[in-house]
Structures are given as C-alpha cells and as structure tokens.
Amino acid sequence: MSFGIHVNEQPFDAEPRPGQCLRTYLRERGWFGVKKGCDAGDCGACTVHVDGEPVHSCVYPAVRARGRSVTTVEGLATDGELHPVQQRFLDAQGFQCGFCTAGYLMTTAALDDGQLADLPRAFKGNLCRCTGYRAIEDAVRGVKHVEAPCAGAAVGRSLPAPAGPQVVTGTARYTFDIDVPGLLHMKLLRSPHAHARITGIDTSAALRVPGVHLVLTHHDAPERHYSTARHEHPTEDPDDTRVLDDTVRFVGQRVAAVVADSEAAAEEGCRRVEVTYQVLPAVLDPEEAMLPGAPVVHAKNGAQARIARPLDNVVGESHGEIGSVEEGFAAADVVYEETFRTQRVQHASLETHGAVAWFERPDEGPERIVVRSSTQTPFLTRRALCALFDLPLEEVRVLAGRVGGGFGGKQEMIVEDIVVLAAMRLRRPVKLEYTRAEQFYGATTRHPFNVRVKAGARGDGTLTALQLRVVSNTGAYGNHGPAVMFHSVGESMAVYRAPHKKADAYSVYTHAVPAGAFRGYGLGQVVFAMESVMDELARLLSMDPLEFRERNIIGPGEAMISPGGEEEDLHIASYGLDQCLGIVRGARAEPADAAPQGWLVGEGSALSMIATGPPGGHIADARIGLLADGTLDLAVGTAEFGNGTTTVHRQIAAGELGTTVDRITVRQSDTDVVKHDTGAFGSTGTVVAGKATLRASQALAETLLTFAAAHLGVHRDECRLVEDAVEHRGTRIPLKELHAAAQSAGRELAADGHFGGTPRSVAFNAQWFRLAVDPGTGEIRILRSVHAADAGKVMNPMQCRGQVEGGIAQALGATLFENVRLNDRGEVTTAAFRQYRLPQYADIPRTEVRFMETVDTIGPLGAKSMSESPFNPVAPAFANALRDATGIRFTRLPLTRDRVWLALDGQARAQSGRPGGQ
C-alpha cells in the first residue's frame, strides 16, 4: 500500500520515517515555506492545511497524512494569482523578517467570519517577534499601506520590501532553505555542570553508531582562544573561548560534536559519548563573584586575554567622575537612591542559530570553504574563521540568506566555528541547526543588570548630581561584556545635564549561560533605572515629571558628557527630543478612555537617547552598476533580517539615479559581493551602509551623465537621468544602449561607495502609557500607548513605523513576561516558548507612533537610526505609569501579574495593619 499523500496537488508515495513529523517530511521534499521555529507546536511557523484544516506540522505525525491532501504556503496561489490573503499581507506589508509569515497566512486563510471577529483567540497559536502584530492585523483586515513606485521620488515613501512576493509565497530562502547534496548533520553534546574539568572522554561507542562519521572533542580543537562576539575591532572583546574546551563553565556548554548521516544518528552518537567530569565550585551571582574567595571563572593571563581582573571575575570595568558628586549631593534639596534589577531575556528570533559549510571550487582561484549562516556579520565571521583556522581570506566565503530575526543575537560566531572544523576534517558538507531549547541554553541572552542610582536636585528642579553603580552579569564568557557595560553608562547619563556625575561599572563573569548583544546594548537596562529615578525626584519636588525632564535634558548643540568622557565623534546632528516630549504632553491632555470600575489608573512616560552607530568606526562598502538590460545591480554587505535595510537601500539608489526601485536588484550579505561590511548591528543598516549606498549611487549618477554627454556630444549639465534613460532636451538614450556603448568602448558603468561610520549622530525616543490595574488580581491593561520617535528624515514611514512597533512589543515582553530562569545549579529552566512566555497577539496594544520633523546633518539624506532605540524607554514608562496607579515603585523586571498582586496585597495589609504587611 503506497503512502498516497498529495502536497499542493502533487502526489508523493515515499513512506515517512518512524516517528517523523509532517514538517520534516515536507521540507525534505523541497517545501521550504514550512518553517521550523519551536519544535513543540508553540509558534505556528510550520502551519499547513491537512484536508483544509490548519495544523502545526511540527507536532503532526507525517503518517497521519496518509491519503490526505496537504497544502503549504507555496500552494495557496492558484493559476499564477496570489491568494487574497497573500495579496493583503503584501499590501499591508504584514511582516518584517517574514519567518513567521507563512504560518500566519495559512492560519488566516482557514479562518471563518466568526474567527476573524476574534483575532486574539484565532492567533493564539502563532507568534511573531518582529512586527508588534499591528501590521499583521492590518493585513488580515485588508488595510493597504504600500505606495506605488515613482521614478526619482523614492525616499520618504512607503514602498514595499523587494522580497515581499517571495515572503508571502514561501519562496524566500532562509538559511536552511537549500538542498545540499551529500549533507551531513551535526549534534552537540552539552555539559550538565555549571563548572567542571573534563578528565576523560571516550568516543568509541559513539563512533560505532551506524551513520556516524566523526566525533569532535577538545582534543581536536585549536588551542587558540577567541571571542564569539563580532566587532570591527576584535580587541573590544576578551579572548576567553575555545571551539571545544576541557573546562566547562555553564550548563549547556558544548563538550563534543557528533557528525552523522542523519540528525537521529548524531543524537544517538551524543548519547554514547562517555565523559568523566571533575565537578568544580560555581558562582551564579555577579556580586558574589567579585568577593574574595569566589570560584574563578577564567584563570587566564588578563593582559593576554584582555580580561580586566581575572581572579576577581571582572572582565571589564569603568570608573569616572565629573566634578564632585559629594558636593553635588550636598547642594541638593532632595536626594533619591534606589537599586534596580533587570533579568535575562532571550532574543527569541524564530529562525534559530545555524550554519551549513561545504567546499566549492570557483572558476578562478583555489578551492574554498563556503559557510551559509544565520548571521548579522558575514564579513567579521569570515575574518574570525580565517584567524582561528589559519586560512587566507580568499579561501573562505561566508554568506547569509534571508535571516529570520536577529536583534543582536546573531552578532556572534557560535555555530560557524564548529561546523567549519567538521567540514574541514571530513571534506563533506556539514549542517548544524539549533533546536529551540538550544537557543535558550546554548546561545546568548540579554545581560542581567543591577543598577544603583543616586540622584539629587535643587528645589527648582535642577539636577545637581547623578551617580551610578552598574553590575552586569556577562555569564560564563565575556562576549560583548565590556562593550555593553561601557555603552550602558554613556547616553543614559549624557542625555541629562548635571554638573556632577559619577559612574562605576563592572562586567562580571559567572557560571551562567553567556549574555551577548541585545537590542539597546545595555542602555535599556540603565534607562529603566534612570528614568524611574527621574520620576521619583519629580515627586519629591511635587513637580510634573515631564516638566522636570524638560528642565534637565541637554539641548541642541550641547556636549554629551558622561563619566566615561566625551566621545569626540558623537554629535547632536539633529534635535527632536523637545518635539518628542511635546507629543507626550499632548497625549496626556487628550480625553482618556474609561477604565473598569474599581481599577487603579495611572500614566507615565520616559525618554532615551542613543548613538546611531558604535564608536571606533563601522565600515560599509557598496557597489552599483548598470546591467546590459538597463537595470541596476546594487551590492551591499549588510544583512536583511527584518530591519528593512534592503528596502531603504533601493530607495536611496532609486532617488539618486532618477529611477524606480523595481529596476534595482540588490545582492547582499555575501563576502563575495563587496570589499567589506562590518555588519548589520548597532543601528547602522541605514546610517552607515545606507551612506555607502548613497555615495555609490551619487558616483554612478555622475558617471552615467558624463558618459552619456560624451556619447551624445553635448554638455553634461544638459543631461538628466530619468527612469530608464538619460535625457537631453527631449532626446532619450535608453540605459541599455548606454551600457552597449560603454561595453564597445571598454568601459564599465559602475561606481563604489564607502563610509567608515564616523562622525555619528544621536536619535531620541519618548514613550507614554496610560494603564489600569486590578487591585484584586494584579492584572494590568494598557489603555493607551503613544511613542514619539526622532528618526531624522524617515526614509520609509510604513517600514520605520513597523520597526518602532516591533521594538515596543519586544520591550513589553521584557517588561511584563519574559525571564530566562536558572535554577540553583545554573540550568536554564525556561527552555521552551510555552515556559518562557513570549508576547502574543492578544498582549500587545496598538501604539500610536509619531515621527518628529528633523533632518540630520550626518545621516544619509537626513536619516537617523530607529531599530534599537524604541526598546529603551518602554519599561521605565510602564513602571512609572504603574507607580502612578498604585503608589508602589517597582524596581525589578519583569512586572509579572503575581509580582504586582503581591506588592498590592502587601500594601493593603500594611495600610490595614493586618499580618503580612511590610
């Protein structure tokens, strides 16, 4: 009896493997629109229809599809026409990275009228980490946001993402959406101990498992130490990591790698590896880790490894004072001091970490290894791999497909090294794809912070002194640790004037899952504390918190001073913070919706400032050239993971070249396409890589006009670029004819652009909430959310709004729910979405996003960054509104319902004199 399954009307008879889920069965047959996001039926990215009913194919046994008809996202379109749901998602641009989009399309296509009327319930099985859900709702409701392209008038318009048609049809190719012949699969054996020395490791039984080709241990790894963090300057991070180490420093650290014909064989091989450990003392709390006698995480040569004080577990520290805070507090009429704590947060990008490596021989040059990775930093990863394995640059190519979310988590090299080591040993293609659980205990998190703030002010509301003590828990490895620590005490203090400022900051090793780069890069943690304190100072002075901020924020042209010193290349190149606060003031004055009877109502706001790019330089190269058919080829190094840089780069180029965006093809995130690109992180996709694209496009425009003028025998100033031609007094020479003429003359009509990332500007944001709290249960409802964003010249309003909404949604998750929990052994206990609690459709309100009217003098065409900055003021604005409603200052995140109820109950007990009051 044949299996007899029909997929998108195509018959398949191959029997599934015992226990195989429908998702892997479909993907093995090329239906890559079916995504792997959670392995447990929690995220909905793998949704397909079985006989018209939507199912999560990752938990649906393939054998149950026998004799049934299965439809994937690739099968929604019929006769070359998009399904109405696909068209609506295109019209509304109801996606960013797009990894979840196929699941939403398949869920939506199966909804009846009753279900459409209750989307919070209908979408309870689908997750999106990028959009903030408003764009998805608009897509479902048929709201159209995209504008039609217009020649030469691209910047400032809501033009669609170039990959949109591929995203909604399931043909966009993410990291593993490829078929590599002869592919082998890798699985990792991980440590069960927070701190231990490997005294023995026996791989013989693993090598006897049928299908196992290789087992790698620390004996096979290079001795060289490196950092998984990727920065333009590698010296920013400590060299404390080996590919495989004989000492493990957190539960989940990789101990061995097994490569086999199948994932099942590799997993069985991992179970057969016998490891003997000498368990060592561990420390999980960063304050305890700095005490004398604490277990040492890295007993290395500090100067050689760039660790500040190895024996004290301090990977980096910063101490600085401007003026004298002692004098400043003495001069204050009010002083407020408090300690705030933020938790670990997972990036939760729906596409997990992973890479595939294989060998290729180009037409010219030696054989080289190709690494296809879910990375934000292809060029820096290539450089790190070459240094680690002593390879010349020309023998390594790193590229990214479309990346399914990043948020800083993929500014790391945590899979590529071990995959390349295996591929080099076997000379075969090797794949490693993290499970969702591995994302929690084998990747990185946001840094947990302890922040002590002391602030003083005079009776008129003028700040006299600001003092910070910051302790950042970087976990077992220092990737990004010092840089996040330095950044955290920068703009958070510099945005306020005070004659006396002091900061002491420590990045501390512990035996916990490593932290890394995360949206906001340390600023969000300290802004939570700083903005909470600003509200408390205003209350002590009986002053409007908004007025108090307006009295103390820096103004246009002022120096941005923090205890770490003034950064010479950082400028206020455009100023919209006053407009941001004006938006908040206007929102407060508008009539409020009624809250449920008996609920407590409050409102609160917060502001933040962030540099548009990291210090020390961030390099981007771009190249654009005319093709034989008269269209344009734009090559950029930056990656696309929902940040929208591909859309913006096309808009910049189209505007400078007088054409439409659909005539420009973008090649990107591949070390073959341009000389260098530091990477898509630090809010640089538009302001750095975009400026390189701008300069390349301007140079090509000049080249085209000059060549056309010479070809026509006219003055260059009499020529102008139009959609597909150069025009001279009514005479048009098509661009494809110009290309032919150039080719005959031995000329290439192309140009390069470069930007080094300096000088830098700053972006501003302000968030305001009105919320209601049920004193009987601790439930919180957001009645209204308003966000003011100073992004300079907004290149694409629809897309930029989506970035802001996504940042707010992610920040609300960190504010209300998300917490990577560790037990007393250092083991992550929230290694699945259903345990971790990501924000769902029903959790996120529609935020009113307002853009300020500013034009930056540094950014390309007046633009500033707006990918990270919306995250930072959300938690303090929410906490300030909660304080206004309840009278309680919450100092620890997340603000979970039980935590709020316990505080309210304790307050009620104290007021009534009942036992248990505090």
In this prediction, residue 818 has a pLDDT band, given cuts at 50, 70 and 90, of: very high
Q: Cβ distance 429 to 356 under 8 Å?
A: yes
Percent of the chain residues topping a pLDDT of 90 = 95
For residues 38 and 849, give the distance between their C-alpha atoms in angstroms, rounded to a whole number. 31
Q: What is the pLDDT of residues 567-620, one digit of tens each?
A: 889 999 999 999 999 999 999 999 888 899 999 999 999 999 999 999 988 999
Q: Determine the pLDDT at residue 918.
A: 42
Using CA atoms, how far residue 509 sits from 106, 156, 257, 473, 642, in Å, is 45, 45, 25, 6, 32
Q: Cβ distance 791 to 866 under 8 Å?
A: yes
Give the count of alpha carbons within 13 A of 392, CB side only: 6
Q: What is the pLDDT of residues 346-376, one digit of tens each?
A: 999 999 999 999 999 887 778 999 999 999 9
Q: What is the pLDDT of residues 152-207, one digit of tens each?
A: 899 999 999 999 999 999 999 999 999 999 999 999 999 999 999 999 999 999 99
403: closest CA among 619, 163, 662? 163
Taking residues 411-429, report their average pLDDT.
98
Q: Determine the pLDDT at residue 306.
A: 98
In this prediction, residue 21 has a pLDDT band, given cuts at 50, 70 and 90, of: very high
CA dihedral 405, 481, 381, 759 (to 10 degrees): 90
Residue 811 phi/psi, 5° resolution? -65, -35
Instruction: Classify residue 66 by burial, with Cβ atoms within 10 Å: 0-12, 13-18, 19+.
Output: middle
Taking residues 92-120, report their average pLDDT.
97
Tell if the pTM clears 0.95, that is, is over it: yes
Q: Determine the pLDDT at residue 1.
A: 52
Coil/strand/helix, residue 331: coil
Using CA atoms, how far residue 27 sits from 182, 187, 533, in Å, is 16, 19, 52
Q: Determine the pLDDT at residue 917.
A: 46
Q: What is the pLDDT of residues 466-511, one digit of tens each?
A: 999 999 999 999 999 999 999 999 999 999 999 999 999 999 999 9
For residues 495 and 492, give the distance between their C-alpha atoms in angstroms, rounded to a whole number. 6
Q: Determine the pLDDT at residue 758.
A: 95
For residues 110 and 657, give the distance between their C-alpha atoms in angstroms, rounded to a whole number. 44
Q: In the predicted model, is pLDDT for residue 655 greater than 60?
A: yes
560: closest CA among 498, 483, 485, 486? 498
Which residue has better confidence, 731 or 254? 254
Per the prediction, the chain carries an average pLDDT of 96
Q: Cβ distance 501 to 467 under 8 Å?
A: yes
Q: In the predicted model, is pLDDT for residue 734 greater than 80?
A: yes
178-192, 251-265, 556-570, 672-686: least confident range = 556-570
| Chain CA centroid to CA 732, Å | 45
Q: Determine the pLDDT at residue 2.
A: 67
Taking residues 392-403, report their average pLDDT.
97
For residues 666 and 654, give the distance between their C-alpha atoms in angstroms, rounded to a whole number. 12
For residues 763 and 840, give the distance between their C-alpha atoms in angstroms, rounded to a whole number. 29
Q: Determine the pLDDT at residue 566.
A: 77
209: closest CA among 251, 250, 270? 270
> How is residue 614 written in tokens?
């990291």
Using CA atoms, how far residue 261 sits from 24, 182, 240, 258, 417, in Å, is 15, 9, 32, 10, 20
